A = this chain, B = another copy of it.
Amino acid sequence: MIVILLYLCSINGMIMEKLLKSVKININDKIYVKDPESSDLGRRIIEHSIVMIHDLGFEAFTFKKLGLQIGSNESSVYRYFENKHKLLLYLTSWYWGWLEYQLVFATNSIPKPEDKLASAIRILTRATEVDASFSHINEVLLNKIVINEYSKSYLTKEVDQENKEGYFIIYKRLVNRIREMIQDVNSSYPYPASLASSILEGGLHQYFLMDHFSSMTDCNEKVPPAEFFVDLVFKTLKKDYNG
């Protein structure tokens, strides 16, 4: 499916939105017991878990509370996900997959490596806006969940095992895409992977600081994190960029 999309280059927002709606984001099927996209109950689990994790925080969120909220049952939720950790992996994988589509869409047609990288940084570090591409998934809330909870999905004792099973593959692919773009701008820069991972991880962190520790960031409503990172990356790569 991604192959088809790669050929569709200069399309406008409305068309992109429709295309995104028709695309199913491919998630490692070991993450779920039963594909939540395969049933109405599954989609309601996804829809309401996003709202509830955002409202309660991941720690206070439970399958029992979710079951109650969607007029269903704790045991029914367990038929879709082994536990809430796996559900978080599902939601964050979906988010990174969705961002990856946006990245590929928006940057594939850009010929100049500098323009492409700048555009990529802006897409990856911008705040998610309301667009409602996927009816049952609120991407704005999901973005906030990723900011507040993503680290918890890999800061575990099981990370190596879960990495082996491919649970973080979409995120790693995304970092790799940025790494390649960095190398296309400056092939002799010695830390392209570290810089790429810093953009993604640091982007989330700067948003968290804006919300809770404003003294530790210069970013705010008027100066978004994207500007900090574009400036940082292009100065680091010693290529001036005026965009």
Contacts and interface: CB of A to CB of B under 8 A. Distances in A.
A51 interface: no
Interface stretch (A4-12, A63-71, A195-203): A195-203
B201 A218 contact: no
Most B CB contacts (10 A, CB to CB) among A60, A172, A212 go to A212
A216 interface: yes
Contacts of A212: 154, 159-160, 163
A-B CB proximity, top 5 nearest: A57-B157, A197-B216, A151-B151, A191-B218, A235-B236
A209 interface: yes
B192 A218 contact: yes
Contact of A201 (B159, B193, B205): B205
Number of identical protomers:
2
A56 interface: yes
Contact of A235 (B197, B208, B209, B238): B238
Most B CB contacts (10 A, CB to CB) among A59, A155, A157 go to A155
Interface in A210-237: 212-213, 215-219, 223, 225, 228, 231-232, 235-236
B57 A156 contact: yes
Contact of A213 (B172, B205, B231, B232): B172
9 contacts: A56-B157, A152-B155, A163-B212, A172-B213, A175-B216, A191-B228, A197-B216, A231-B236, A235-B238
A217 B129 CA distance: 30
